[in-house]
Amino acid sequence: MKNIYLFAVVLLSFILGCSREEKYEVFSSEAFAYKLPDGWELNTSAHVKDFIVNETNGIFTCDLTYYVDIHTPSGLVIAKADTGVIQTRSGDEFDEVPIDIQMELDDGFEMGIYKIVYFVVDKKSNQLVTDTTTFELSLE
């Protein structure tokens, strides 16, 4: 009887272990801004992982597009404040790529806490993932 229970536990562990899927996601987004003489420099980054990677003749490729929206402290949304394409080609396998954005904001931006929303589309699967981070414009 003990052997049947042991077999059931081992079988269940095997099934659960094999069914684990990697999750396509954008994660670890962060942002900060610092004061320039005529405005602000905004730096923001995120990582994307577990998108579709194709391999042809030893070359691995991915095809992602992204954009970010900025939500101001007063509720205004600056849609697609930055956009981009990531088409990585490599002789080595990969499952993660960074997104790094740098932009200038003029002095017309109000002080306060802003929200950045990342939208990333895997062009090979047409799946969209999002992530959110915040930054603050402050003279302190």
Residue 14 placed within a domain: no
How does residue 22 score in pLDDT terms, banded at 50, 70 and 90? confident
Q: Does residue 7 belong to any structural domain of this protein?
A: no
Instruction: Answer for the pair 112, 137: CB distance below 8 angstroms, yes or no.
Output: yes
* Tally of structural domains, the chain: 1
The CATH number for 65's domain is: 2.60.40.3880
Residue 3 maps to a domain: no
Residue 4 located in a structural domain: no
The answer to whether residue 13 is domain-embedded is: no
Cα–Cα distance measured from residue 28 to residue 21, given in angstroms and rounded to the nearest whole number: 20
Identify the weakest region by mean pLDDT among 15-29, 51-65, 83-97, 121-135: 15-29
Q: Is residue 93 part of a domain?
A: yes
Interatomic CA distance for residues 18 and 45, integer angstroms: 33
Strands 39-49 and 54-56: unpaired
Taking the C-alpha atoms of residue 70 and residue 134, their distance in angstroms, rounded to an integer, is 9
SS3 13: helix
Q: Is 90 exceeded by the pLDDT of residue 13? A: no
* 2-19: average pLDDT: 50
Domain that holds residue 84: 22-137
